[in-house]
Chains A and B, each alone.
Chain A
Amino acid sequence: MTVALKLEELSKTFAVGKRLFGPPKGRVHAVHPVTLEIASGETLGIVGESGCGKSTLARMLVGLLEPSGGHIEIDGEPLDNADPAVFGKRIQYVFQDPISSLNPRKTIRQIMEVPLKRLHRMDKAQRAARISEIFSQVNLREEFLDRYPHEFSGGQAQRIGIARALAAEARILILDEPVSALDVSVQAQVLNLLADLKARLGLTYLFISHDLAVVEAVSDRVAVLYFGSVVELGRAEEVFAHPRHPYTRLLADSAPVVGRALTAPEGRETELPDPLNPPRGCAFRARCPNAGPRCAGEVPMLDGRSQQAACFHPLHPGA
């Protein structure tokens, strides 16, 4: 197994209430130091609710945001400067909103040519050949090339977004909620296309979603994010079936499933803590049925072998 992407203690802190001079009024730790390894050819799913830091993490991985700390390694080479053009050839990004990720005033051909021209310095004939190759890979007709983005449905636009990411010839794709703006019938088409491309081109995916079922259906391993930290990491079929972290269990129990009676898995009306005023210790303890005194004093670290959980009182001690 070769490691395609390695994050070491990667973190991001945002300053809130910036002033022209002097220090900001507050700081929000959007991503607490995260350490992850993704094997070549693997799909790592990242799941979490809004505000858990999953998009911030993704944007750091492609250089759109500069990390506040930590390192990124791609194929064993460190890549720390926040220049998307440097990242672009190694790692690409597929956006959540397919329509707004395409410039409304450019034709699809113009959009597709940019990475070929800028990243690979191809001439006109090479570009045309490469574009038709990519378009056949993602099942798009070449007649689309001279149309504008608003003429496409969400599913088609997302295929175009994937085609653009492929044009950079990066081996790693960050898929940031790639299907959450799509209807379920179209969502399945796109997910199958992604699986097909991965098998054929030997890609590595980091698949971010809030939808547990989708993540489970596409991922080899899953990382569960809560309040900027990875709270559980393990094999996809195990994480939701046998969660070790109470938050993972809460997520799994909350997902509406056909054939399961409606219950509120949480007795209390609790939600996320205030990021400007984070709690001491474990961020989940206010919602946690197992919280003990140790949870209030210390921040739990990921622990375990095949299925790691950041919890002092995990649901399955073994694993």
Chain B
Amino acid sequence: MSFLALLARNRLALAGLVVMALVVALALVTPLLPLADPDVTDTGNRFLPPFSEGALLGTDHLGRDLLSRLLWGTRLSLAVGFAAAVIAAVLGAAVGIVAGYYGGRVDNLIMRGVDMLMAFPYILLALAIVAALGPGLLNALIAVAAVNIPFFARNIRGITVGIAHKEFVDAAKLAGMGDGRIILSEVLPNVIPVIVIAMSTTVGWMILETAGLSFLGLGSQPPQADLGSMLGEARSALITNPHTSVVPGMMILVIVMAINLLGDGVRDALDPRLRSGALSRPMAATMVRREGPVPQPEGEALLALRELRTEFHVKQRVYRALGGVSLGVRPGECLGIIGESGSGKSVTALSVMGLVASPPGVIAGGAVHYRGEDLVGATYERLRSLRGREIAYIFQDPLATLHPLYTVGDQLAEAIRVHRGVSRGEARSRTLALLRDVRIPNAESRLDSYPHEMSGGMRQRVGIAMALANDPQVIIADEPTTALDVTVQAQILSLLDTLRREKGLAIVFITHDFGVVAQLCDRVAVMYAGRIVEEGPTQAVLETPAHPYTRRLIACVPELGEGKRVLHAIPGLPPAVDALPPGCAFAPRCDKAAEACREGDVALHGGARKVRCLFPETAPETDPETAAEAAQ
């Protein structure tokens, strides 16, 4: 969507734009209007009230026409404010880009200077400049622009540092670009939106500051007047003739408010994070808007998902992340969910306890049964009391998932204390026991460590300890080893396996790695485009995959020990979940797809081994080996 269309959608910004357009237009045509001379005094007609004959807004203490002075003053204030903003933005951005791009000594020296200037409360610097140059509007403009340069410089430098370390800048260097060209064609286009945002949100401030200096008598000098000096001159008559103060004061308020509204609109339209709605605050639990009948609990599973549908509503688009997922995990069992990114495996995990970020997430149908109780329909308080106590999570990146400002001990103790009223001392000794359970060396000294002081593997052990804090029945592990190195991954996986056997835990293990599934899970479900395409005992699924997707996915993963070889890639891409094809989602990439695959919905069928395919690779029910396994 274009920038203007985005801006126009924001009604407040539009109002600001209209007001600003009006004020600017008025200021532009002021010389053409049939107004009284703003500087001609007429002491006989001083302090005329508004709506007087010949003076619509009245006159001031020297009998000058207020309307005329207001319009001429507005013209002046706008011009000075904008000029100061442009000067500060251009110079500040230039300094910031140079410092941020070159880094090192250049950056260090420039930023020390900027810090020096920012060590002044800004008006002191402005006052010092005016004191040296003498009062006057131009000098006030210089002062205001000068004191704002450091703010722009620091802001733009921060952004530039981020961009200068992006890989596309390296790529441009390798493609033969010099520094000057990179700054102009790679860095600047990415910085300009930030400069525009910074400018649009500070123009109002600049107008206020120049008006302020004039108000103090240090800006525009009589008889010339901007809005600030009008207010300053009117101050002595504030009590007797308030209208002379109210008129310029209100004008400043209206202008600055319109600019701020417009500035916010510009920011919202240019900031990509705001555009995608990412700055929404996720609610305490995922929003539930179930349509259709709510499935009833059945079977002996401890935790069972039944036809669960989770969607993301972004603007007008609906992304069907989960298109009816049914799964169950029995006590002490480890169920793997495997799939590529976007297949819905993480959404499945987060939907269980209502942890899908909402907005934009919505649970649109189905149920999650824990011991027969529907969690999707549960109250927030009920859900909260189960979170961490009965069903706990282990997340992917242990650095991002632990709070950076609390010690490991505090975070573990909190996990216990939100569910059980134990004393601090008790919580601490239990915490210590937990750290020992997850084999953290020197557990005692680690209690008071912060997450950033630990290695990735140790942090993930803390993550596991936190999940174990209340002896839950089910642990949902969402790619817990993906962020770890392979040697550390092996340690964590074997720890998880030991713990689950010791404590009889049920684990739902989300991963994209067949090797991990093979080593850890009893059963595995394969997901594609938001649905389960195959499910069954791990060994059977991996050895004789029934769904063409499973078979080809396994075939395209290189395996250690097979040497150099050509891989069997799957052509094409997984479908986008806001535009799923009718019928089987894999059909467009499948070499066995027939007309029937592209028409109706394909059901997941079978017993212990289920497959969602009309032409499965092996007929699951007749396979004696898997039938025997299912019977056990």
Contact = CB atoms under 8 A, between A and B. Distances in A.
A92 B174 contact: yes
A1 interface: no
Interface residues of A, number: 77
Contacts of A255: 486, 515, 560
A232 interface: no
Interface stretch (B420-428, B470-478, B564-572): B564-572
Given A84-B174, A217-B567, A185 B556 contact: yes
B494 A188 contact: no
Nearest to B483: A50
Contact of A262 (B189, B439, B520, B562): B520
A251 B190 CA distance: 41
A40 to B, nearest CB: 18
Given A20-B112, A85-B178, A265 B341 contact: no
B441 interface: yes
A203 interface: no
B564 A102 contact: no
Contacts of A102: 168, 171
Given A237-B564, A256-B489, A271-B455, A88 B176 contact: yes
A88 B558 contact: no
Nearest to B439: A269
B27 to A, nearest CB: 34
B514 interface: yes
A265 B516 contact: no
Contact of A213 (B516, B557, B573): B557
Interface stretch (A3-11, A73-81, A111-119, A126-134): A111-119
A297 B440 CA distance: 29
A183 B558 contact: no
Contact of B558 (A153, A213, A260, A264): A213
A228 interface: no
B257 interface: no
Nearest to B176: A118
A254 B489 contact: yes
A256 B340 contact: no
Nearest to B565: A217
Interface stretch (A26-34, A189-197, A303-311): A189-197
A184 B556 contact: yes
A86 B564 CA distance: 33
A262 B493 contact: yes
A256 B492 CA distance: 12
A256 B178 CA distance: 45
B347 to A, nearest CB: 16
Given A192-B567, A262-B494, A100 B562 contact: no
Contacts, number: 212
A236 B176 contact: no
A266 interface: yes
A266 B569 contact: no
B512 interface: yes
Nearest to B514: A258
Contacts of A97: 167
B62 interface: no
Nearest to A47: B486
Contacts of B563: 216-217, 236-237
B544 interface: no
Interface string A85-118: 1011100110111001111111000000011001
A188 B175 contact: no
Contacts of A95: 167, 170-171
Nearest to A20: B108
Given A192-B566, A210-B485, A236-B563, A105 B189 contact: yes
Given A93-B170, A155-B573, A168 B512 contact: no
Interface string B143-180: 00000000000000000000000111011111111100
A26 B515 CA distance: 41
Interface in B492-519: 493-495, 497, 512-516, 518-519
Nearest to A174: B174
A220 B564 contact: yes
Given A49-B487, A85-B173, A155-B573, A101 B559 contact: no
A31 B177 CA distance: 27
A184 B518 contact: no
B542 interface: yes
A213 B560 contact: yes
B172 A266 contact: no
A168 B174 contact: yes
Contacts of B439: 269
Contacts of B569: 185-186, 188-189, 191-192
Q: Which 10 A-B pairs have the closest CB atoms?
A: A256-B515, A118-B176, A188-B569, A188-B556, A264-B494, A217-B558, A254-B490, A49-B485, A115-B175, A101-B167
13 contacts: A62-B174, A89-B176, A101-B168, A101-B170, A184-B556, A216-B564, A217-B563, A254-B489, A256-B490, A258-B542, A262-B493, A271-B458, A271-B488
Interface of B: 105, 108-109, 112, 166-168, 170-178, 185-186, 189-190, 340-341, 439-441, 455, 457-458, 485-491, 493-495, 497, 512-516, 518-520, 542, 552-553, 556-571, 573-574
Given A188-B570, A192-B566, 17 more contacts: A20-B112, A49-B487, A63-B173, A89-B176, A96-B167, A161-B171, A183-B512, A185-B553, A188-B569, A191-B567, A210-B486, A216-B560, A216-B563, A217-B563, A257-B559, A266-B491, A271-B488
